[in-house]
Amino acid sequence: MTKKLSIAVLAGDGIGPEVMVQALQVLRKACKGIDIDLKECLVGGAAIDATGKALPENTLEVCAASDAILFGSVGGPKWEPLPPNEQPERAALLPLRKRFSLFANLRPAICFPELAAASPLRLDLVAGGFDILCIRELTGGLYFGKPKETRQEGTERIAIDTMIYRDSEVERIGRLAFEVARTRKKNVVSIDKMNVLENGLLWRSVMKQLAGEYPDIELSHLLVDNAAMQFIRSPRAFDVVVTENTFGDILSDELAMLTGSIGMLPSASLGTGHRGEFRFGLYEPSGGSAPDIAGKGIANPIAQILSAAMMLQYTFGLDEVARGIESAVRKTIASGYRTRDIFSPDTKLVSTAEMGAAICENLG
């Protein structure tokens, strides 16, 4: 690879900056010999404090000129008194998703065999671990549909959110699910609410139609309420699941909880945009800014580190380098290193920095 990889680094608030330091260290070591250009910019509460805006113009410009965004986390109690539309989560994350058409949100829910005891599920349900990839549509549905407003009608207020999907939006996320499934166990479960919603009928019919183009992939369908149940009953039965925005928001939290360790889970939000051969994407931990433990050096950096690995895979096509980081993480877990969130007796309690250093050490 001779091209320079240009990456916007948005650490944000809470534990964001401290886990980002570890991720960048791992990234630099894993990418030795590859030309990477990291540009750090402000986002979230930190950006509000410095510039008055959660997503300053300069940050947007740097992102637009980069191949990918490595994102930390935003938000915290300090900014909670702000009006809802100015809060870091809404004023930074949602506009970034929309601005860069980040329509596909990939949230792996991986329960490492060594950490199965951390799952709230009975051990016989999770023994040996599980590996589910939740693919959530991210720029449509209730989140962005218009009208979206609260208005006065007579003596009371009415609130309206609009759920809207068009064929093409379902098709592009469905296609991505099939393509990704090809690199895994070739099994897709599509989740909808076709027994009640027009959106569900459209979703299912597009998925069925697409299935014809992917005869090597096994497709099945679940209603969303049933899916919520089946995840708990048999998480090991799932490979790739794909669903619309709001369902995906809820189900991905459920799946994260089932792994027992939100501090381990990365995510990728992929866009339609390409710069040359690179597909634009934003990569961030699935967990939040965790203000309660920020600054204490105890946060788990693995979600941020694995987010960097996803970036190498999905934007830069450096699958082998990504695999290298993943196996360094597995090796570190297998050798008993644990940050506080995943600690159990007979393992070695380490800090954020010690975990990062151990993973670096275990890199090929």
As a whole number of angstroms, the distance between CA 21 and CA 7 comes to 14
In contact, 337 and 302? CB cutoff 8 Å: no
In contact, 201 and 171? CB cutoff 8 Å: no
Cβ neighbourhood burial of 261 (10 Å; 0-12, 13-18, 19+): buried
Part of the chain binding Mn ion (CB under 5 A), chosen from 200-208, 211-219, 247-255, 311-319 = 247-255
Q: Which residue has the tokens 């800014």?
A: 289
Part of the chain binding ligand IPM (CB under 6 A), chosen from 59-67, 88-96, 115-123, 151-159 = 88-96
Backbone angles phi, psi at 215, to 5 degrees: -65, -20
361: CB partners within 8 A, 6+ apart = none
> Is residue 193 annotated as part of the catalytic site, yes or no?
yes
Nearer to ligand IPM, 245 or 339 (CB): 245
As a whole number of angstroms, the distance between CA 205 and CA 200 comes to 9
What DSSP state is assigned to residue 72? E
CB of residue 170 vs ligand IPM: minimum separation in angstroms?
A: 18
**What's the angle, vertex CA 13, arms to CA 32 and CA 36, rounded to 5?**
20
- Judged by CB under 6 A, which of 93, 135, 293, 302 binds ligand IPM? 93
- Catalytic option among 143, 283, 314, 337: 143
- Catalytic option among 193, 214, 337, 341: 193
CB of residue 261 vs ligand IPM: minimum separation in angstroms?
A: 17
Residue 171's binding partner out of Mn ion, ligand IPM, none, with CB under 5 to 8 Å set by partner kind: none
Alpha carbons within 13 angstroms on the beta-carbon side of residue 130 total 30
CB of residue 254 vs Mn ion: minimum separation in angstroms?
A: 10
Residue 131 in the binding site for Mn ion (CB under 5 A): no
> Is residue 49 annotated as part of the catalytic site, yes or no?
no
Residue 254 in the binding site for Mn ion (CB under 5 A): no
> Is residue 165 annotated as part of the catalytic site, yes or no?
no
Residue 93's binding partner out of ligand IPM, Mn ion, none, with CB under 5 to 8 Å set by partner kind: ligand IPM
User: Three-state SS for 328?
Assistant: helix
Q: Which of 132, 131, 114, 133 is nearest to 123 (CA)?
A: 114
Cβ neighbourhood burial of 352 (10 Å; 0-12, 13-18, 19+): buried
Residue 89 in the binding site for ligand IPM (CB under 6 A): yes
- Catalytic option among 225, 296, 319, 348: 225
Task: Give the chain's end-to-end CA distance (angstroms, integer).
Answer: 19
> Is residue 143 annotated as part of the catalytic site, yes or no?
yes
As a whole number of angstroms, the distance between CA 245 and CA 32 comes to 37
How many residues at the interface with ligand IPM, by CB under 6 A? 5
Nearer to Mn ion, 125 or 257 (CB): 257
CB of residue 250 vs ligand IPM: minimum separation in angstroms?
A: 9
Q: How many residues does the chain have?
A: 364
Residue 89's binding partner out of ligand IPM, Mn ion, none, with CB under 5 to 8 Å set by partner kind: ligand IPM
Nearer to Mn ion, 143 or 278 (CB): 143
What are the structure tokens assigned to 298, written together? 């105890």
Nearer to ligand IPM, 246 or 351 (CB): 246
CB of residue 90 vs ligand IPM: minimum separation in angstroms?
A: 6
CB of residue 100 vs ligand IPM: minimum separation in angstroms?
A: 15
Residues of the shown chain interacting with Mn ion in the complex, contacts defined by CB under 5 A: 249
Residues of the shown chain interacting with ligand IPM in the complex, contacts defined by CB under 6 A: 89-90, 93-94, 249
Query: Catalytic residues, which ones?
Result: 143, 193, 225, 249, 253
